[in-house]
Structure 1
Amino acid sequence: MRDNKIVIITFIILVTFFTGVALGEPSKKDEPISVPEVKYSFSKLENGLEIFVFEDLNVPLVEVSLWYKVGSLDEPEGLTGISHLLEHTMFLGTETLAKDQVHNLVKKVGGYNNASTHWSYTKYYEELPATNLELGIAIEADRMGNLKINPVEFQREKEVVMQERRRSIENNPIRSAYEEIMATAFQQSPLHHQIIGWMEDIEGITVEDINAFYRQYYAPNNAVLVVSGDAEPKVVTELAKQYFGDYRPQKIDRIVPIEPDQQEERVLTIEKMIKVPYIIMIYKLPVGNHPEMTSVEFLLEILINKSVSRVNTELKQKQEILLDAGAWVSRLPISGYAQVILIPSSVDKVTEVTEGFDLELKKLIDNGITDEELQVIKKSVLKELVFAQKDLRSFKDIIIEGRLNYNDPDFYQKEIKAINDMTKEDLIQAAKKYFVQTNRTVGYILPQTN
């Protein structure tokens, strides 16, 4: 998108998967907590296009979105950033719509449109009055089959993306250091590069490269059409047949390099123009739907993220050597990672904070966790899921991500079961298995000494 916010970690505000809502005292019984199923309609065209409709008659609005199962993870060496650059290119016009015409058509009816690129998918969407449902579907169908690239406009847009990279990474001391840490942690995996790509690769991408990538992945059998809001499923399906029905499926080839097993801890020190030091730890994890990943997320809540977590209580409140901390898990359709961020109070506390974190992790493994700790977090997370369902247009993203990443739109229900079934022993087992020094990369970002 023009102002696309690439999903790169921000370190001033530590975002976590769970939000840590206080729920009061846990119940005496560890009773399963249910989360209602989200209802949706599903259909599929003969060419492979999948259609999800989340009907909500409360407001006369619709969101039409087209999700392509292609993102940064699919980029070959030398073409990093091509998914994001193609996203920009999709706004430059088609055989039937001139540059900016899509935006103007949507704006004319009081709507809004944009797009975003992620690790495993690229999403385009229009928010429209319900009476303009057909417009949104027609726009996305046109862009799927009729992209037209003007070389001059393409070069101009490439400069926009390169400037975006300069602004978001190269001129940002923390993000540029983070990029270096991730590239050290992952040797062969596509996670070696950030979603926006390496600058030299962006510079080298040609119109021919973009067209080839577009033809390979922007096909009906590699896309999901999602409509949420005031729209009847039958009407959506008929419009999809009308506008997408003639497109032919493509053979989708995916080659994901295998990341070699890490045999020892990797450590790097980077000096930047910053005032306080940062410690970033990357622990490698399995694919996102692995049954232990929910346990890993809960472990990090108890160890780091909660205000009464082990790390916060000991290092921040008691010893006062830590300014802030946070951790979360990147769950992907390939092997992912857990990320730990520690902000020491000063440079001379960096070693002390690192050792303190390792000690708190060891104490958790050796001494275990309490029933109360686990039950409070279970209730907190499940309550958040219940509240999230009230915003159907947002919750539908969870369902579609499950479909794209794990071929399972109801993956969230499996997560709910995993949460209810989780035991204290599951968390300790996950800690022993994944949170070992030979499985991590540690990056120290320090203020420049001069």
Structure 2
Amino acid sequence: MRKFFKILLLSLLLILFGVSSIYAQQLNQKELFIPKLDYSHFKLDNGLEIYVFEDHKIPLAKFSIWYKVGSIDEPEGISGISHLLEHTMFLGTESLAKDQVHQLIKSVGGSNNAGTYYDYTTYYEEIPSAKLELAMAIEADRMRNLKVNPEEFYREREVVKQERRMRVENNIFSSSLEEIQAEAFKESPLHHQVIGWMEDINNITVEDIRDYYTRYYAPNNGVMVVSGDVDPQEVHTLAQKYYGSYQPQEIKRLEAIEPEQKSERIIKLKKMTQVPIIAMLYKIPKGDHPDMVAINALLDILVNNSTSRVKTELQQKKRMILEAGGFTVGLRKPGYALLYTVPMSEGIVYDVRYDFDQELEKLIEQGIKENELKIVKKRVLKDLIFSQKDISSAADTVATSVVRYNDPTLYQKNIQRLKNLTTKDIIRVAQKYFVRDNRTIGYILPKN
């Protein structure tokens, strides 16, 4: 499973959302190598898209199937079904017994896993390239022949419920974020987390799983990505052999539209934390929107490095906060940016929030220096490039862009947008999205 928060709160904040700035500042833009994303692309008659990335350095391959379905596709009452279905996919098919997928892949020296996010679900195998056909046959079988044994399904449902207890209910930040999101989003499926509400998980039936599986696990709702020591024509031939006979499905998606927020929302949460946290959620557009590059640059300037405005003023000068940071959730539907600060004590929580707002207003009113823009461009560009550090990472980048936006070129577009980024662009997005009427604040306070 991927993308779940760590147990320790401060470790989570520092590791997941911190950005290293010292190394980035040392980089010279001329030294930054922008990798070209070379791949072969095929599309079967049933709509299954195939992307192949060749790298013949070592005889290994990664095979993955990505489905365009996640928690934002879940109807009310069965939140968490995408993630529960991911677990169910390992319970067997008409020809594969429970856990046999793991055993087969392990027997050839490989490994496999899966992950569910807000807007996709993916399954992958890392194997010797000579065993590519095995991985492809397994995933083809699971795409259409899932067998749901009621007894095993309800046992697995209990496993997912326990996972929720551990990773959400017993985690300060995850449980707080869940409540803040629910306050911020009233109609959007972002009202709930990927893992879903406990009550909904407990009510999901075998019939629900079968219906959801049939509706979304279809070739025209999938993207196959293969990387490593592989031949594109062989991949195409095998894909046709194992997937070509599958019929496409009519894909119907939720059309829930989040009403425009008219005023700031505030929620106070009492948690077993040693320090208070202020979490500020701002609604932002879809992840492929041209404004996203400017939004991420704004976060870098405001909170996400040691020389950022908030850290310089509130942490280094005034000694009011222990930490600050932020991240964006960019999806095929409008997402959010979450910025946080960790005040020194509960007694200055509202002073910290006021001073944070002052730093944001100062940025808008006084502007951004050109040298500051150059530094942030280097940092953001470094992050973009490091996301392509190997062929598997490059393949995943293309896969997420295709399953979300049907655009394998988004990576290159974002680099060009970054190069064209101006200080006016950053100030414009600050004025447009980072306003109080578009904000939900969560004050996470010590219970004792």
CA distance in 1, matches of 2:180, 2:150: 35
Retained in 1: the 8 A contact 2:89–2:146?
yes
Retained in 2: the 8 A contact 1:73–1:256?
no
TM-score, reference length from structure 2: 0.96
Q: Count how many residue pairs are aligned between Structure 1 and Structure 2.
A: 444
1:137 lines up with 2:147 in the alignment:
no
Gaps spanning 5+ residues in structure 1: where?
A: none
Gaps spanning 5+ residues in structure 2: where?
A: none
Report the CA distance shift for 1:387/1:167 in structure 2 as closer, same or farther (over 3 A): closer
CA distance in 1, matches of 2:341, 2:294: 21
Report the identity percentage.
53
Residue 361 of structure 1 aligns with which residue? 360
Aligned partner letter, 1:298: A
CA distance in 2, matches of 1:228, 1:360: 45
1:203 lines up with 2:235 in the alignment:
no
Retained in 1: the 8 A contact 2:62–2:125?
yes
Q: Which aligned pairs between 1:27-176 and structure 2 lie closer than 5 A?
A: 35-176=34-175
Retained in 1: the 8 A contact 2:368–2:423?
yes
1:22 lines up with 2:23 in the alignment:
yes
Retained in 1: the 8 A contact 2:19–2:305?
no
TM-score, reference length from structure 1: 0.95
Retained in 2: the 8 A contact 1:283–1:338?
yes
CA distance in 2, matches of 1:106, 1:329: 35
CA distance in 1, matches of 2:3, 2:368: 36
Cα offset, 1:444, TM superposition = 0.4
Q: Which aligned pairs between 1:255-270 and structure 2 lie closer than 5 A?
A: 255-270=254-269
Structure 1 window deviating more from structure 2 (157-166 vs 386-395): it is 386-395
Cα offset, 1:396, TM superposition = 1.5
Retained in 2: the 8 A contact 1:26–1:375?
no
Residue 352 of structure 1 aligns with which residue? 351
Residue 301 of structure 1 aligns with which residue? 300
Residue 447 of structure 1 aligns with which residue? 446
CA distance in 1, matches of 2:442, 2:158: 31
CA distance in 1, matches of 2:84, 2:349: 39
Q: Which aligned pairs between 1:285-296 and structure 2 lie closer than 5 A?
A: 285-296=284-295
CA distance in 2, matches of 1:284, 1:353: 21
Cα offset, 1:256, TM superposition = 2.8
Retained in 2: the 8 A contact 1:95–1:147?
yes
Aligned partner letter, 1:90: M
CA distance in 2, matches of 1:382, 1:445: 33
Aligned partner letter, 1:446: L
**Residues 106-156 of structure 1: per-residue CA shift (max 9 Å, x gap):** 011111011000111000001101110100000000000110011000010
CA distance in 1, matches of 2:173, 2:328: 19
Provide runs of 4+ in structure 1 moved above 6 Å: 30-34
Retained in 2: the 8 A contact 1:17–1:329?
no
**Residues 379-398 of structure 1: per-residue CA shift (max 9 Å, x gap):** 22223433443311012111
**Residues 387-436 of structure 1: per-residue CA shift (max 9 Å, x gap):** 44331101211111111111101111110110000000100111111111
1:408 lines up with 2:407 in the alignment:
yes
Cα offset, 1:37, TM superposition = 1.9
CA distance in 2, matches of 1:387, 1:344: 32
What's the secondary structure of 1:235's corresponding residue?
helix
What's the secondary structure of 2:303's corresponding residue?
helix
What's the secondary structure of 2:285's corresponding residue?
strand
**Residues 334-383 of structure 1: per-residue CA shift (max 9 Å, x gap):** 11111001100111121111011001001111111111111112122223
CA distance in 2, matches of 1:428, 1:234: 48
Residue 178 of structure 2 aligns with which residue? 179
Residue 250 of structure 2 aligns with which residue? 251
Aligned partner letter, 1:351: Y
Aligned partner letter, 1:62: A
CA distance in 2, matches of 1:445, 1:386: 35
Cα offset, 1:5, TM superposition = 4.0
